[in-house]
Chains A and B, each alone.
Chain A
Amino acid sequence: MKKELIELKVNGRMRELAVAPSKVLLEVLREDLQLTGSKRGCDDSSCGACTVLVDGTPMLSCTLLAASCQEQEITTVEGISEHGSLAAIQKAYGDRGGAQCGYCTPGFIITVKHLLSVNPNPSDEEIREALSGNLCRCTGYSQMYEAIKAAIEAEQRGLAAL
Chain B
Amino acid sequence: MARNGKANGKGNAKLAAVWVGKKLKRKEDPRLIQGTSHYTDDLKLPRMLFCAFTRSPMAHAEIRAIRTDAARALPGVVGVFTAHDLTGLGMVPCAIQMPGLNLPPHPVLATERVRYVGEPVAAVVAENLYTARDAAEAIEVDYEPLPVVVNMEKALEKDSPVIHQQFRTNRAFTHALKNGDIQSAFKKADRVVKQRVINQRLAPVAMEPRAVLGEYLPGENRLTVWSATQIPHLLRTQISVMVGLPETAVRVIAPEVGGGFGSKLNVYAEEGLVPWLAMKLGRPIKWAETRRENITSTIHGRDTINDLELALKKDGRILGLRVRILADMGAYHQLLTPLIPQLTALMQAGCYKIPAIDIEIQGVFTNKMSTDAYRGAGRPEATYNIERIMDVAAHELGMDPVELRIKNFPQAKEFPFTTVTGLVYDSAKYQESIKRALRLSGYDSLRRRQKSGWKNGKYYGVGVSTYVEICAIGPSAATPAGGWESGTVRIEPTGKVTVLTGASPHGQGQETTFAQLIADELGIHPEDVNVVHGDTLAVPYGIGTFGSRATAVGGTAAYLATQKLKTKMARLAAHLLGAKPADISFGRGRLSGKGSKKSISFGELVMAAYTARNIPAGFEPGLEATHFFEPSNFTFPFGAHIASVEVDGETGEVKIDKYVAVDDCGNVINPMLVDGQIHGGIAQGMGQAMWEELIYNEEGQIVNGTMMDYALPKAHLLPEFTLDRTVTPTPVNPMGVKGVGEAGTIASTPCVVNAVCDALSVLGVKHIDMPLKPERVWRAMQQAQASAQLEPQPNDTPSSSRAKRGISVSEKAARSKA
Q: Tell whether, in the assembled complex, residue A99 and residue B33 are in contact, meaning their CB atoms are under 8 Å apart.
A: yes
From A2-10, A100-108, A153-161, give the one contacting chain B: A100-108
Q: Tell whether, in the assembled complex, residue A36 and residue B291 are in contact, meaning their CB atoms are under 8 Å apart.
A: no
Q: Tell whether, in the assembled complex, residue B715 and residue A97 are in contact, meaning their CB atoms are under 8 Å apart.
A: no
Q: Tell whether, in the assembled complex, residue A90 and residue B680 are in contact, meaning their CB atoms are under 8 Å apart.
A: no
Q: Which of B29, B36, B39 contacts A93 (CB 8 A)?
A: B29
> What distance in Å separates the Cβ of B180 from its nearest Cβ neighbour in chain A?
39
Contact A81-B34, Cβ < 8 Å, known A97-B672, A128-B716: yes
- Residues on B with C-beta less than 8 A from A105 are 32-33, 35
A18 at the interface (CB under 8 A from B): no
Q: What is the chain B residue whose CB lies nearest that of A131?
A: B715
Q: Tell whether, in the assembled complex, residue B721 and residue A102 are in contact, meaning their CB atoms are under 8 Å apart.
A: no
B708 at the interface (CB under 8 A from A): yes
23 of the cross-chain contacts (CB-CB < 8 Å) are: A39-B207, A40-B41, A40-B288, A42-B708, A86-B33, A90-B33, A93-B29, A97-B676, A99-B26, A99-B32, A99-B33, A100-B680, A101-B208, A101-B259, A102-B33, A102-B37, A102-B256, A102-B507, A132-B716, A134-B715, A138-B680, A142-B679, A143-B676
Q: Which of A31, A34, A47 contacts B207 (CB 8 A)?
A: A47
Q: Tell whether, in the assembled complex, residue B41 and residue A86 are in contact, meaning their CB atoms are under 8 Å apart.
A: no
> What distance in Å separates the Cβ of B378 from its nearest Cβ neighbour in chain A?
20
Q: Tell whether, in the assembled complex, residue A137 and residue B259 are in contact, meaning their CB atoms are under 8 Å apart.
A: yes
> What distance in Å separates the Cβ of B454 from its nearest Cβ neighbour in chain A?
29
A49 to B42, CA, bound (A): 14
A55 at the interface (CB under 8 A from B): no
Interface size class of chain B, counting residues whose CB lies under 8 Å from the partner chain = 35 or more
Q: Could you list which residues of chain A lie within 8 angstroms of chain B, going by C-beta atoms?
A: 20, 22, 30-31, 34-47, 49, 76-78, 81, 86, 90, 93-106, 109, 125, 128-129, 131-132, 134-144
Contact A78-B291, Cβ < 8 Å, known A40-B41, A101-B257, A128-B716: no
A22 to B205, CA, bound (A): 27
- Residues on B with C-beta less than 8 A from A144 are 715
A155 to B602, CA, bound (A): 41
A106 to B206, CA, bound (A): 16
B673 at the interface (CB under 8 A from A): yes
> What distance in Å separates the Cβ of B670 from its nearest Cβ neighbour in chain A?
9
Further contacts, 13 of them, CB under 8 A, given A43-B292, A100-B509, A143-B676: A39-B39, A44-B707, A44-B708, A77-B33, A78-B34, A97-B26, A101-B256, A101-B258, A101-B507, A102-B256, A137-B205, A137-B712, A139-B679
Q: Tell whether, in the assembled complex, residue A37 and residue B716 are in contact, meaning their CB atoms are under 8 Å apart.
A: no
A58 to B44, CA, bound (A): 27
A36 to B44, CA, bound (A): 11
- Residues on A with C-beta less than 8 A from B715 are 128, 131-132, 134, 136, 141, 144
Contact A46-B707, Cβ < 8 Å, known A131-B715, A132-B714, A137-B712: yes
> What distance in Å separates the Cβ of B77 from its nearest Cβ neighbour in chain A?
16
A1 to B509, CA, bound (A): 44
B111 at the interface (CB under 8 A from A): no
Q: Tell whether, in the assembled complex, residue B675 and residue A94 are in contact, meaning their CB atoms are under 8 Å apart.
A: no
A99 to B287, CA, bound (A): 26
Q: Tell whether, in the assembled complex, residue B672 and residue A30 are in contact, meaning their CB atoms are under 8 Å apart.
A: no
A97 to B207, CA, bound (A): 17
A141 to B44, CA, bound (A): 32
Chain B, 652-689, CB within 8 A of any chain A CB: 672-673, 675-676, 679-684
Q: Tell whether, in the assembled complex, residue A94 and residue B30 are in contact, meaning their CB atoms are under 8 Å apart.
A: yes
Chain B, 1-60, CB within 8 A of any chain A CB: 25-26, 28-39, 41-42, 44
Q: Tell whether, in the assembled complex, residue A140 and residue B130 are in contact, meaning their CB atoms are under 8 Å apart.
A: no
B 486-517 to A, binary, CB cutoff 8 A, 1 in contact else 0: 00000000000000000000111100000000
Q: What is the chain A residue whose CB lies nearest that of B505?
A: A101
B 462-478 to A, binary, CB cutoff 8 A, 1 in contact else 0: 00000000000000000
> What distance in Å separates the Cβ of B687 from its nearest Cβ neighbour in chain A?
9
Q: Tell whether, in the assembled complex, residue A140 and residue B708 are in contact, meaning their CB atoms are under 8 Å apart.
A: no
Q: Which of A42, A44, A78 contacts B36 (CB 8 A)?
A: A78
B528 at the interface (CB under 8 A from A): no
> What distance in Å separates the Cβ of A125 from its nearest Cβ neighbour in chain B?
8
A113 to B261, CA, bound (A): 29
Chain B, 677-736, CB within 8 A of any chain A CB: 679-684, 706-708, 712-718, 720-721
- Residues on B with C-beta less than 8 A from A49 are 207
A98 to B680, CA, bound (A): 11
> What distance in Å separates the Cβ of A6 from its nearest Cβ neighbour in chain B?
17
B160 at the interface (CB under 8 A from A): no
> What distance in Å separates the Cβ of B82 from its nearest Cβ neighbour in chain A?
26
> What distance in Å separates the Cβ of A153 from its nearest Cβ neighbour in chain B?
17
B209 at the interface (CB under 8 A from A): yes
- Residues on A with C-beta less than 8 A from B683 are 139-141
- Residues on B with C-beta less than 8 A from A103 are 39, 206-208, 258-259
B290 at the interface (CB under 8 A from A): yes
Q: Tell whether, in the assembled complex, residue B207 and residue A143 are in contact, meaning their CB atoms are under 8 Å apart.
A: no
- Residues on B with C-beta less than 8 A from A99 are 26, 28-29, 32-33
Q: Which of B288, B507, B679 contacts A143 (CB 8 A)?
A: B679
B 201-238 to A, binary, CB cutoff 8 A, 1 in contact else 0: 00001111100000000000000000000000000000
Contact A36-B42, Cβ < 8 Å, known A41-B208, A44-B708, A102-B507: yes
- Residues on A with C-beta less than 8 A from B684 are 137, 140
Q: What is the chain B residue whose CB lies nearest that of A30?
A: B42
A139 to B290, CA, bound (A): 23
Q: What is the chain B residue whose CB lies nearest that of A127?
A: B715
Q: Tell whether, in the assembled complex, residue B206 and residue A43 are in contact, meaning their CB atoms are under 8 Å apart.
A: no
